[in-house]
Structure 1
């Protein structure tokens, strides 16, 4: 099992963020939520490692 990488690791992170925001601009809240869900599933499939995916879910949960 690989480990979840939580350190910055995206080439052109600002450009990626801008692209992500632009993809959501014309969408309704419902369509934006659906885009996010599809993107999560595409990226989860690419990662493929259930341990890493479970660690990502835990890392993304709100902290109490």
Structure 2
């Protein structure tokens, strides 16, 4: 199963706001810990190592492209 890059939920702005709200009042260390825990929870939910590897590779490439700009 390939990584789904198509729009997959109806209200992405609501998701983004929920994510921002979840980080509110956290220290930088707590925010980083929460992000790491969220990644692990979602990876466990996905459960398909090939999809997880695709997502990690894409996220890394995007992060490297941000640094290059």
TM-score (norm 1): 0.90
- Name the count of aligned residue pairs: 63
**Structure 1 stretches of 4+ moved >4 Å:** none
What is the deviation of 1:6?
1.3
* Higher RCO (C-alpha under 8 Å, 6+ residues apart): 1
Where do 5+ consecutive residues of structure 2 fail to align? none
Which one has the bigger helix percentage?
2
TM-score (norm 2): 0.84
Q: CA RMSD in A?
A: 1.2
Where do 5+ consecutive residues of structure 1 fail to align? none
